[in-house]
Amino acid sequence: MQNFIFDNKTRIIFGKDYEQVVGQESVVFGKKLLLHYGGGSIKNSGLYDTVVNSLQEHGIEIYELGGVKPNPRVSLVREGVSLCKEHNIDFILAVGGGSVIDSAKAIAAGATYDGDVWDFFTGKSEVSTSLPIGVVLTIPAAGSESSAGTVITNEDGLYKRATGHLSLRPQFAILNPVLSYTLPAYQTACGITDMMAHILERYFTTEKNVELTDRLCEATLRTIISNAHTVLNEPTNYNARAEIMWSGTIAHNDLLNTGRIGDWASHDIEHEISGIYDIAHGAGLAIIFPAWMKYVYKHDINRFAQFANRVWDVEIDLNDLEKTALAGIKKMEQFFSSIGMPITLTEVEIGDEHFAEMAKKATERGTLGNFIKLQESDVYQIYQLAR
Ligand code: NZQ
Ligand code: ZN
């Protein structure tokens, strides 16, 4: 097991009606707040009014910036940075999903920086401080509510890039499973896939002697799998929504990463797809993760056989571990299909026209992944396997 420091400062406020305490939680960080949100969903559900009332009750002055799109764009981030600088904003409140939270994080970093915020995503500069942010989560998926990362798309060149810093971890995250009742089935399934991918990125490690975190990963995956169809069939089932919401946070708050080094190649390979084609990140992962697995499983068949057995109940064939490993990958694909996810690029009408460009862009800052290091030609072949 690797040495580690586990430090996740995000205060999790979990359960029914907790969005009503957002004013009380926010006022601790100052009286001038940027309220950041996406399209119409929080207005349609009434959450916007609840949040605004709570903030006003605590004497907070609200500046608003809505309109965050899925795969959030740097142009809106720049607008947010200008607003924060112009009005000396103290605190940013993100109400929404990963896209809104990531946009809020990028604004928070840009607001304390003299250069262009995109510098943080090209490696030209590193985040060292940021404004504090808080979250009211509406979709369990990205795990951004307690992660230190943010992923932003630059419309100029369609680059989707990530950056991170400990200061970007939200101060608090309000998680009320009831707020996820209004999610369309497709978004629910994309979220389920993304949180599973966050666990898989950590699970496929070359680190030995990580039994506890292996078992925690497997337990979280099994919890997600066993509640997935329930939330899709009964969108207002509180207990199932609660299991999924908490799993989404656990999947990405770095607990499951302790003592081990994750892979993350599939995320980088996927980001090229959602960057260019603007598909949902979770759907892209349902396509890329199985392809990555088929490309790398021979590197550690035992680990893939363990995954098949402990997560998907595939019986271990000691005479043919490869068969066991492949059966696990197959079961995972079948599961993604069963929740309405695409598992091939063809299903989302993506051809091979940008494979070479995507493989080049994905590896322009070096090899991808840690399970095995992938070069440009490997990434190209993974796109081929995903057809
Ligand atoms: O914009 P609104 O109207 O709010 O609609 C959203 C959006 O269209 C809708 N939605 C959200 N909550 C809803 C709802 N609709 C009805 N009822 C609700 N309760 O869902 C759509 C998708 O929202 P989005 O925020 O894009 O989803 P998600 O949370 O999956 O975030 C995806 C983004 O997060 C990034 C992804 O790359 C992608 O850009 N990621 C961020 C990570 C991080 N910062 O740690 C890690 C992840 O791996 C991921 O890369
Ligand atoms: Zn993800």
Which of 73, 127, 144 most suits a substitution to test ligand 1, by most atoms within 8 Å of the C-beta? 144
Which of 51, 193, 194 most suits a substitution to test ligand 1, by most atoms within 8 Å of the C-beta? 194
Q: Could you say which of 151, 179, 207 is where a domain stops?
A: 179
Ligand 1 centre distance from Cα of residue 308 (Å): 29
Residue with tokens 């605590």: 58
CB of 187 sitting under 6 A from ligand 1: yes
Please indicate, yes or no, whether residues 215 and 250 belong to a single structural domain of this protein: yes
CB of 314 sitting under 6 A from ligand 1: no
The residue type of 103 is S
**Residue 96, pLDDT score:** 98
Please indicate, yes or no, whether residues 286 and 237 belong to a single structural domain of this protein: yes
How many separate domains does the chain show? Answer: 2
Q: Could you say which of 179, 212, 234 is where a domain stops?
A: 179
Residue with tokens 């840009």: 110
Ligand 1 centre distance from Cα of residue 140 (Å): 8
Residues 6 or more apart whose CB falls under 8 angstroms from that of 295 comprise 378, 381, 382, 385
> Using CB atoms within 10 A of its CB, is residue 37 exposed (0-12), middle (13-18) or buried (19+)?
buried
Q: Could you say which of 179, 210, 232 is where a domain stops?
A: 179
CB of 38 sitting under 6 A from ligand 1: yes
Please indicate, yes or no, whether residues 219 and 361 belong to a single structural domain of this protein: yes
**Residue 65, pLDDT score:** 98
**Residue 239, pLDDT score:** 98
User: Helix, strand, or coil here: 136?
Assistant: strand
CB of 183 sitting under 6 A from ligand 1: yes
Q: Which atom of ligand 1 approaches the CA of 105 most closely?
A: 44
Which CATH number is 323's domain given? 1.20.1090.10
Which CATH number is 133's domain given? 3.40.50.1970
| Biggest distance spanned by C-alpha atoms of the chain | 69
Residues of the domain holding 215? 184-385
CB of 149 sitting under 6 A from ligand 1: yes
* Residue 225 covered by a domain: yes
**Residue 356, pLDDT score:** 98
CB of 267 sitting under 6 A from ligand 1: yes
CA–CA–CA angle 78, 79, 84 (5° rounding): 95
Q: Sign of the C-alpha dihedral, residues 70, 8, 16, 239? A: positive
**Residue 382, pLDDT score:** 98
The residue type of 244 is I
- The whole-angstrom separation of Cα 136 and Cα 251 is 18
- The whole-angstrom separation of Cα 112 and Cα 132 is 11
**Residue 197, pLDDT score:** 98
* Residue 3 covered by a domain: no
Please indicate, yes or no, whether residues 310 and 363 belong to a single structural domain of this protein: yes
> Using CB atoms within 10 A of its CB, is residue 155 exposed (0-12), middle (13-18) or buried (19+)?
exposed
Please indicate, yes or no, whether residues 219 and 119 belong to a single structural domain of this protein: no
CB of 182 sitting under 6 A from ligand 1: yes
Q: Are 169 and 320 in contact (CB under 8 A)?
A: no
Tell me the pLDDT of the chain (387 aa) as tens digits: 999 999 999 999 999 999 999 999 999 999 999 999 999 999 999 999 999 999 999 999 999 999 999 999 999 999 999 999 999 999 999 999 999 999 999 999 999 999 999 999 999 999 999 999 999 999 999 999 999 999 999 999 999 999 999 999 999 999 999 999 999 999 999 999 999 999 999 999 999 999 999 999 999 999 999 999 999 999 999 999 999 999 999 999 999 999 999 999 999 999 999 999 999 999 999 999 999 999 999 999 999 999 999 999 999 999 999 999 999 999 999 999 999 999 999 999 999 999 999 999 999 999 999 999 999 999 999 999 999
Please indicate, yes or no, whether residues 253 and 358 belong to a single structural domain of this protein: yes
User: Helix, strand, or coil here: 37?
Assistant: strand
Q: How many Å separate Cα 131 from the centre of its chain?
A: 21
Residue nearest to atom 45 of ligand 1 (CA): 144
Task: Considering every ligand atom shown, identify the ligand nearest to the alpha carbon of residue 192 and give its number.
Answer: 1
Please indicate, yes or no, whether residues 100 and 55 belong to a single structural domain of this protein: yes
Note residues around ion ligand 2 (Cβ under 5 angstroms).
Answer: 194
* Residue 5 covered by a domain: no
CB of 180 sitting under 6 A from ligand 1: yes
- The whole-angstrom separation of Cα 75 and Cα 86 is 17
- The whole-angstrom separation of Cα 379 and Cα 360 is 9
- Among 385, 374, 376, smallest CA distance to 344 is for 385
CB of 137 sitting under 6 A from ligand 1: no
- The whole-angstrom separation of Cα 172 and Cα 165 is 16
Task: Considering every ligand atom shown, identify the ligand nearest to the alpha carbon of residue 191 and give its number.
Answer: 1
Q: Are 179 and 344 in contact (CB under 8 A)?
A: no
